Chain A
């Protein structure tokens, strides 16, 4: 509890800034108003085409937090989710190694460190929380396995990462069935209900398409969808975690099939994209905690254990509550817009015809709704044609002027260092606005 609250407090130190938050907010706002967007409402390139609704509940929660308390509400939601996430991780470690807090903390550290890079204001963070809870439940008995079904049902409404939850539940069912000679068939209905739970969403079977597409063909140009990169700090943390998994597996005691059924598939998932790396660290918490040596073991007395003291629970709750209040009091209700060209926005005209930078699309949806975007962080409605055209124009690749003519682009709103920002003025485009960050060009 204390650890969760402490990290929840730390999470509030980071201002609101994620580029995708804004379209999530707008989507959630409309959802709360009873109008779940099933077709595109924000762009002029794919207007009216069907869009995924696989994160509707996550969007609604974020929007609800914002409507209740503005950006403070969004921060509070982040703090609570991070607190619950870290709490779940530490609890998993402590449950495996009760009375060994040092070992439990050491085992939880990789998960906390790696998950730090996912402490963003997006449904993805909610998905990670669900994953941490799932991992905790999968270590339990059949009763806890049953609890994963309602968890999965909720998860499937929150974020597309539910797919890994489904894989782990199915894997756990198979592992338990193999271990249980007598009643292995009782896991069949559990597996069936797990599959059904993921279909009970507004998207139905289409929700599998979104998750599957992300997994099998991650858009590598998006940095978080790139391969884990050792040139980055998260990449270093991830490789260190992987090394710990190898060391623990080869030097620790034998694992059960259930443990392997969790670690191995998650290890593969984590290798596929940078954004997936926290999952391995979270999945490995119990594995680490159950096998790492206790450096204080030699100093522990072999005398009979003292009766359980309920004092620490109460003290922990007090500390946690204090930290939560401190977090609430310290909320800095500001949005870090340094990554977004606020000053240039006034020069961007209303109406269709604006080709904007991908990373600014979500922010524009929120801050300048009267200007439909060319593209934004939702990505999948735009692949492949719109995205290909976008890349051609922004990179000023041969044929970019044909794309501009075909699409009817009248204004280009991109970064000051983008190739098109250099080339378009040389081809007669008027520079309406320019600063170190952004440029607005008009035909």
Chain B
């Protein structure tokens, strides 16, 4: 076995070990679980709203029915620990293939480790227990297959890609970034590759596009992905532009600037000498870096693209000679892997959180809510939690976001919560009888002053009822 494979496995274990320690807490996890349960219980994909009162009966598609189902199966098999293990497995896959594509061009672990670890740490921003974990895992898989085809002429592996895209298009709606990666590799080959490779590239691109149509909304899935990127919701934090002065943003900026610096000092000739494919690297780095800067939740994928380039080009600029990967005895390598897997199992059994982290949710409001009546105006971030734990109270708005709620509904919430002109009209129009808000919300203070009864309160929430 090549030492790089074993090294990649070690990085996978590191990622998985870190991921295992995180308690489930993502605000969208709850409605994804409920969606998956509904699908399994009814034998059909949930395609209309049954959880809000502002959009009741409206048809919609999140593009993640299979991801929801797998999450539920993991939950039913092992409870919250089952979700921990699923998360760890997917993060491990992501880390493995990120390391693999990096070690492919930079077998020296000393140069590869910092960038791979940086990419793993940045990926933490999408470790929420949601179907986007499947995108985190599958994107570097696609990159690895494409790179082995491009640089090692392993064309047979391309047959995996359509299979991946059939699954991906049903697991999570962000499969479009995988298609973008395929397109970039194919364009590179069309411009610079031999004729045989061009035919292979076109064939796999067409096959992947066709494969991604095999989902409940067929071609609509790609259109949806494109429209998501084109019309970014301004109220969802993870869809906002990246702040490079934040933790993950700073790490991305560091990788990006190292890439630019190395590219400048090496020039096209230096890149050809060290990596080959001079058109491919700007084709990958440019678009994915810009995507990350525009939509911060896409930052991990940009880091996966930057990692191999930085790991290879920085030592090249410093005039370090490339090394060849070592070979390790297969039996020894497998033994090491087995030991690591066993250790991960022990960690899962002993240290993986067995309960979700609900500190940011209004758990104390569930009891008073049970006996309360009226349409509930709720915080966006708590909508998924309420879907799962207070289904008797349909939500005003929740994390299904733009897939279910048009801009007007979100604006109504924002208008009401911020005491904008017309906020009383919003409360009247939707016949709001209950409000579950953060205490610092202007509306929370105003309703209390206006005599709304406090049914319950905590440090992070207050539940109010119309007098």
> Which chain A residues have a beta carbon within 8 Å of chain B's beta carbons?
216-218, 220, 226-231, 235, 239, 242-243, 245-247, 249-255, 257, 259-260, 263-264, 267-268, 271-272, 287, 395-400, 416-417, 419, 421-423, 426-427
Chain A residues with CB under 8 Å of B441's CB are 397-398
B117 close to chain A: CB less than 8 A: no
A271 to B242 CA separation, bound complex (whole angstroms): 9
Q: List 11 A-B contacts (CB under 8 A).
A: A239-B290, A246-B286, A253-B268, A254-B266, A260-B261, A260-B265, A263-B261, A264-B260, A268-B253, A397-B445, A398-B445
Can you name the residue of chain B whose Cβ is closest to the Cβ of A238?
B293
CB distance from B276 to the nearest CB of A (A): 13
The answer on a CB contact under 8 Å between B439 and A398 is yes
Chain A residues with CB under 8 Å of B285's CB are 246, 250
Instruction: Pick the residue among B242, B270, B287 that contacts A227 (CB under 8 A).
Output: B242
The answer on a CB contact under 8 Å between A419 and B271 is no
Instruction: Pick the residue among B243, B256, B268 that contacts A250 (CB under 8 A).
Output: B268
The answer on a CB contact under 8 Å between B293 and A239 is yes
Supplied contacts A250-B285, A253-B268, A271-B253, 9 more A-B pairs, CB within 8 Å: A217-B245, A230-B293, A239-B294, A242-B290, A250-B268, A250-B281, A260-B264, A263-B264, A396-B419
Can you name the residue of chain B whose Cβ is closest to the Cβ of A231?
B232
Chain B residues with CB under 8 Å of A416's CB are 421
A396 to B423 CA separation, bound complex (whole angstroms): 13
The answer on a CB contact under 8 Å between A230 and B282 is no
Given the contacts A246-B289, A253-B268, A397 and B420 also touching, CB distance less than 8 Å: no
A304 to B450 CA separation, bound complex (whole angstroms): 88
> Which chain B residues have a beta carbon within 8 Å of chain A's beta carbons?
232, 234, 240-245, 253, 256-257, 260-261, 263-271, 278-279, 281-282, 285-287, 289-290, 293-294, 418-421, 423, 439-442, 444-446, 448-450
The answer on a CB contact under 8 Å between A227 and B244 is yes
A310 to B286 CA separation, bound complex (whole angstroms): 43
Chain B residues with CB under 8 Å of A257's CB are 265
Instruction: Provide the main secondary structure of the chain B interface.
Output: helix
Instruction: Pick the residue among A228, A230, A267, A419 that contacts B420 (CB under 8 A).
Output: A419
Given the contacts A250-B263, A260-B264, A417 and B241 also touching, CB distance less than 8 Å: no
CB distance from A341 to the nearest CB of B (A): 16
Given the contacts A239-B294, A254-B266, A249 and B260 also touching, CB distance less than 8 Å: yes
Chain A residues with CB under 8 Å of B289's CB are 242, 246
CB distance from B353 to the nearest CB of A (A): 33
The answer on a CB contact under 8 Å between B282 and A255 is no
A242 to B256 CA separation, bound complex (whole angstroms): 11
CB distance from B260 to the nearest CB of A (A): 5
The answer on a CB contact under 8 Å between B294 and A230 is yes
The answer on a CB contact under 8 Å between A249 and B264 is yes
A257 to B266 CA separation, bound complex (whole angstroms): 10
A422 to B449 CA separation, bound complex (whole angstroms): 14
The answer on a CB contact under 8 Å between A250 and B278 is yes
Chain A residues with CB under 8 Å of B448's CB are 398
Given the contacts A252-B267, A396-B445, A427-B449, A422 and B261 also touching, CB distance less than 8 Å: no
For the complex of A and B, 7 pairs with smallest distance between CB atoms = A398-B445, A254-B267, A255-B264, A419-B419, A249-B263, A250-B282, A230-B294
CB distance from A395 to the nearest CB of B (A): 5
The answer on a CB contact under 8 Å between B282 and A396 is no
Chain A residues with CB under 8 Å of B440's CB are 397-398
The answer on a CB contact under 8 Å between A228 and B290 is no
A419 to B416 CA separation, bound complex (whole angstroms): 10
A217 to B243 CA separation, bound complex (whole angstroms): 11
The answer on a CB contact under 8 Å between A423 and B419 is yes
Chain B residues with CB under 8 Å of A260's CB are 261, 264-265
Given the contacts A246-B289, A250-B282, A228 and B257 also touching, CB distance less than 8 Å: no
Given the contacts A229-B241, A230-B293, A422 and B423 also touching, CB distance less than 8 Å: yes
Instruction: Pick the residue among B240, B286, B418, B444 that contacts A419 (CB under 8 A).
Output: B418
